[in-house]
Structure formats: C-alpha cells, structure tokens
Amino acid sequence: MSFPTIHLIAPAGSCQPFFDAIGVRSAAELIAIVQEAVGDRYLVIGSEVLIEADEDEAHGGRCDDRERAEDIRQALENDSVVAVVMLRGGAWFTRVLPLIDFTVLDRRTRPVAVFGFSELTALVNIVAASQQGLGIYDMGPAFLTYGLTHYASNRLASDSPAAIRPRDWMLSRLRPEFDAFFRDVIAMIEGRGTGRSITARVARGTMTDRCEATFVGGNLTVLSALAGSPYEMCVKPEGRWLLLEDYNDKLERIDRFLAHLTLARYWDACEGILLGDFHKGYENLTPAVLELLRFHVPPSRSVPVLVTGQVGHVWPMSPLPLHVLVAIERTGPESLAIHWPAALCTV
C-alpha cells in the first residue's frame, strides 16, 4: 500500500492572509510545517498554486473553478489519500460542486476522511454520504487567526493598561494550536478519537438520558443552497438531526435561509436540531436564532433543540462527524454530551 497521504485543499477563500500570521512565505513552507506537525508516518501534499491563489471580489472571487474541482477530484480518487483537510472557509466554492466528479469515491478501496466547515459544508456532507467517505465538520486551521482573536477580544481582560492585545495573544497561540489541530486529525483517522468533545444544553423540547442521532447540515447559508439541488439527498433531514450554524449575517437574512428550509419541509422530517454558534461581530445571535425557530418549526412537532457554543465559527471548536450514528448522553438536568466511537474515523 502507498504511503498514507494528507491532502491539503484551499478551494474557497484565499490563504494568503494566513501566511504572515503563521510565519511562512509560501504554500511550500505551509505544507512543510503541516508535515512537521503530523510526523513522518504521513506524506503531506497540496496544490501550491491553489493554496497561494488570489481572491478578487469584484471579479468572481476566484477564477480557477475547474482547477479547484480537479484538485478535489484527484484527492478523492487517490487511494493513498487518507484525509483531505480544508485550510480555510470563506466563499466562492459552492458554485464549483457541479464540476467535481464525486463518482471517484465509489472506486476507492479504503475510506477517506474530509475535514471542513463553513463554505465547505456541501463537500463534507457529500463525502460523508458515500460508503467510502467520512465527513468531519471541523474548522479549517487558517480560521485560527480569526477564532483566537475573537476569543481573546471577548474573554481577555482589556481594562488594564498591561492587558495583552487580542492579536498579540492570537499570534502567541497560533502555531501551537495549528500543530495541535493536525495532531488531532491524525488521532481521529487512527481511531484514537478527539479531545475536543461537544457539550450542549437543552433549549427546547425533551430528551431521554441517552439516544442515538445522525447529523447532517452545517453552515445555514450553504445548507439552504443545497435544498432542491441534485445534492439534496446528502442533507435530507428524514430520520436525522440538523446541525445549523452561521456568522456575520443579519437576522433578517438568517430568517430567509430558515424560511427556505421551511418551504422545503425540513422541519417536518428532522428528528432534532443542534444549534451551533451564530454571531455578528461581537454580538451573540444564537438566542435570537432560537426565537426565529419558533416561527418555522411546526408547533405540532416537539422537535428537541440543543444549543452548543462549540460548533461554528468559534474557538475552541469541536469536530462532529456527519452521516454516522453518535450518542447523545445526559450529563445534567439540562446538559448533554455528544460522543462518537473513536474507531469511527479509522482509515
């Protein structure tokens, strides 16, 4: 069998802003520090051209749609690739889906795990729905620059003249957290599980002390774009729980995205809802989104709604596998933990 390979992809927003923060000058150097983090048991590869690509909002964001699609097709087709890791989210990717030949997954002889979130919601769900695919909803490591800074701005004391600035705190933590993320990826694909477990609280409805659940979904904006598309079967809610999260959007737009799912009758079929983090700037929107759900979920359905601050555009973020059975166990009167078998991701 060929050397097990980690394939880095950058099919959404540009990774260039991350280079300065992490202290590299090129995609080759970025690949090298990932290689250092995962060790010599794995080969780390990635398209340097796509990792270094520019982003131009005035001209379609990215001008390399076919190249990005081919990069993902090759990664999914290559039996040596055991994990595909999205470096960051952003934009401009969902339109690329029709250009990707996902049938290559059917010809694999070993599973492949895909790690991603946000703009990569569709890719994670599509791969997770394949017999040879494992889809893990988890942050892209380049997101750490935002996540750590946002955390520091919210949590660190700023009333003291000696208080450390959020960006300085982020820079001091960035490389250790970056390395820890990739070590966690390796632990998951080797069947040793993750130390970043998910806890949640019951916000609506009732829960038994223990139940099993299968999750689909992710970023609300991207999820709503899949409703009614050829990829809808990968996020269909029948017998499943819906994961929802989003950030930096107006509540009126969030209501429209929820309305799209209402019109597609998603609430009539789902078993439950896991509401991840919603925020705009430093404003926590999750309570308001919970209120919006009252206008969408039919009152005749007692769909349980759980809330967690560990999934979404946040740090620390916890990974959640999609399309597989996980356990939800009560840990207190209104608190629960989501557990999944460590061996689940063994590839």
pTM recorded for the entire structure:
0.95
pLDDT at residue 245, as a whole number: 98
Residue reference for tokens 């973020």: 317
Question: Which CATH topology does 198-345 take?
Answer: Glucose Oxidase; domain 1 (3.50.30)
CATH number of 5-143+172-189: 3.40.50.10740
Any idea what DSSP says for residue 61? Answer: B
Any idea what DSSP says for residue 108? Answer: -
pLDDT at residue 340, as a whole number: 85
Residues 6+ apart with CB under 8 A from 70: none
Closest CA to 15 of 176, 124, 115, 144: 144
Parallel/antiparallel/unpaired status of strands 112-116 and 283-284: unpaired
Give CA–CA dist 103/144, Å, rounded. 33
Q: Cis ω on the peptide bond leading into residue 161 (within 30° of 0)?
A: no
pLDDT at residue 299, as a whole number: 87
Adjacent-strand bridge partners of 83: 6, 113
Rounded to the nearest 5 percent, the helix, strand and coil shares of the chain are 40, 25, 40
**pLDDT (tens digit, 9 = 90+) per residue, 33-78?**
999 999 999 999 999 999 999 999 999 999 999 999 999 999 999 9
In a 13 Å sphere around the CA of 31, the CA atoms on its Cβ side amount to 20
Q: Which helix (H) or strand (E) holds 7?
A: strand 5-9
Residue reference for tokens 């063994």: 346
Measure the N-to-C terminal CA separation of the chain; round to a whole number of Å.
13
In a 13 Å sphere around the CA of 301, the CA atoms on its Cβ side amount to 18
Any idea what DSSP says for residue 131? Answer: T
pLDDT at residue 304, as a whole number: 96
Give CA–CA dist 13/74, Å, rounded. 20
Q: What is the 3-state secondary structure (H, E, C) of 180-213?
A: HHHHHHHHHHCCCCCCCCEEEEEEECCCCCEEEE
**CA 279 to centroid of chain Cα atoms:** 16
Closest CA to 30 of 116, 139, 132, 141: 141
pLDDT at residue 8, as a whole number: 98
pLDDT at residue 305, as a whole number: 97
- The domain limits of the chain are 5-143+172-189, 198-345
Give CA–CA dist 285/190, Å, rounded. 37
pLDDT along the chain (347 residues), means of 10: 89 96 97 97 98 96 97 98 97 98 96 97 98 96 97 73 82 97 96 91 94 97 97 96 97 98 95 97 96 94 95 97 95 91 66
Give CA–CA dist 28/8, Å, rounded. 11
Domain 5-143+172-189 and domain 198-345, same fold? Reply is: no
